[in-house]
Structure 1
Amino acid sequence: MRLPDGLTARPLTLDDAAAVTELIVAEELHDVGQVDVTVDDVVSEWQRPSYDIASSTLGVFDGDRLVAYADLVYPDFGYTGVLPTERGRGLGTALAPWLEALARTRGSALISNQVPRDGAAHRLLAARGYRERWTAWDLELPEGARVVAQPLAEGHALRDARPDEHEVVFDVIETAFSEWRDRGTLEDFAAMVWGRPGHEPWNLRVCTDPEGTIVGATHVYLTGDAGYVARIAVRRDRRGRGLAAAMLADGFGLARAHGAVRCYLATDSRTGALGLYEKVGMVISSAWVNLALDLGPS
C-alpha cells in the first residue's frame, strides 16, 4: 500500500479506540453535521469474541496522530475513515483495496460499506464499481419534542430484562433481524448489549404478553446527551398490535429520564419501519447509502 511520504501504517489496538472515535466524530461533524458515536461504541464492537482487531484493522499515522483507518468489522462489511483535513491525499484510495483484499481472503463474495449519501466516500466507492443496495437513515426525536406514551395491548407489560432472560432476548431480537441479515451469535450479542461498557438494567427492556412470555425487546442507552435505540424487535406473530410504538416511546421516555436531551435511532429501507418512526414524531436527520462490491476469486 502506497502512502504519502511521512505517513506510517500499523494494525490498531484497543488503546487506539479513543483516537478512532475522535476521527469518526470529525467525519460525522463534517459530513452530516452531528455526532452519534462514543468510545463505548467502538470498544463494544472490538470486544466481540468473533472479532480480531490485530488482523482486521489498519491505522494510518502522521507521527502519533491517527489520520485514517480501515476496519473489516464483519467478513463482508467494513469501514474506512479519513480525517476531513487529510482528504485529497489518496488515503481512502489506498485503504479501499486493502479492505477489499482482506474481505476476499476471508472468503467473502462481496465487501460492503455504509456512507453518507452523495459525500466524498460515496463518490470514491461508486468510482471503484460499488453498487447501491439500500438507503439508510438516522432519525431524531428533536430536543423539546414530547414523548407521547403509547398504549400497550391489553395484558402486555414493559419492564427491565432479567439476567436469566438474556438468551431469550437475544433470540427475539436476532430472529427478527435475521429477516434481512445473517443471524449473529449469542457471544457477540452479549459483548455489544449487556457487556457494553456502562450497561445498566434499564438499557435492556422486554415486552411480555398476558402469559408473561417475552414477545419483544428494546436495547436503549445514552451516548453523551442523546438516547439511542440500538435495537427494537417484536416477534413476527405479535406484530400489528402497536407493541413497537409503545416500546419505542418507553425507550425514549427512559432515556429522557436518565438525562437525554434528544433521542435517535437508525433504520434502512429493508425494514419497512420508517413510517412507524415518523408516526411517533421522529424526523430524518441524515441519509446514508449501503454500497457493495462483488469480489472475484482470490
Structure 2
Amino acid sequence: MKRPQKKTSTSSFGTSGRISHDSSRFYKSRLYEAQGKAAPSSVTENEIASDNLNRIFCKSSEAMEELPDQSIHLMITSPPYNVSKEYDEDFTLEEYRQLLQRVFKETHRVLVNGGRACINVANVGRKPYIPFHAFIAQDMIELGYQMRGEIIWNKGSSAGPSTAWGSWQSASNPTLRDVHEYILVFTKGEYGRNGKSRNSTISREEFLELTKSVWSFSAESARRVGHPAPFPVELPHRLIQLYSFEWDVVLDPFAGSGTTCLAALLTNRLFVGYEKKLAYVKIAEKRIREAQDNLARLTD
C-alpha cells in the first residue's frame, strides 16, 4: 500500500520538494509587508457585441471603445520594440513607455477579475543595454497589475548567427549575444479564476511542461509571414492553453500579423485584435481565413 506523502511547509533550510505546500510563513515575512494587495474588482463579466468578436480593428488600442469593461479573459501581445524596424516609431524611451502605459491601462479596464496579461519582450542595445522587461514590469505594477512570474523563451539555434560578440577572445569588451526573450505574466485583481462550468483544454503533459519557467522553441521567419518581427504560433498557443478556458476571449492590442488571433482560433477561443497598419491587418486576415478554410475542410 502506497503511503501518503507528507505535506511540506516553508523551512529555514528550504524544502526538497513541495507537496500541498504551506507557504503562509513566507508570505507573512517582512519581505511581503510592503507588497501591494490586489485592488477589489467586480466579478461581473460583460459580453462583447458579436460583431466585435473575431475581428482585428485597424486602429490604436489606446482607446478600445469596442470592448466593455471586464470582457477580456486573456491578453497576449508583443509590443513594437522601437528599434527602427519598418513598423516602429522613433520614440524616446519615456515616450515609448508612455505609449505602453496607455495601452496597458486600457487593457486593465477590459480584463475580467482574475484575467491575465502576458507580454513578450526582448531587451535591446548594448551601449547601454536597455532592460525593457524591467521597465514594463515596473509600469504594469504601478498600473495595478499583480505580477505572477516571467518565462524565459530560449530561442536557441534559431536566434540567428550573430557575430556581435564585441572583442573577439578578449576581455577588452566582450558582448553578450541574446538568444532569449521574456514573457512577463500579470493578473488583474484576484490571482485565480472560477473554473466552474469552464473547460480547460491543456493536457497533463502540456501542463507539466508549460508550468516550467523556461520554454525552448524556434523563432518565426519574418520573410515567411511578411512581418518584420513575428512571433511563432507556439508562443500564444502555450499561453492560451495554460491561462485560459475554452471559448474565453483573447486580446492582442498590438496584433501585427495576427499570430495571437490565429492561435486563439486554433484552440477554440474567441479573439479581438488591434493593429494600426492596414497592410498588417490584411496579412493577419489572410492567415486567419486560410486557417478557417483548413478547419472547415477537416470537419467536412
Query: What is the TM-score of this pair, normalised by structure 1?
Result: 0.30
Q: Could you say which structure has the higher strand fraction? A: 1
Q: Which has the larger radius of gyration?
A: 2
Query: What is the TM-score of this pair, normalised by structure 2?
Result: 0.30
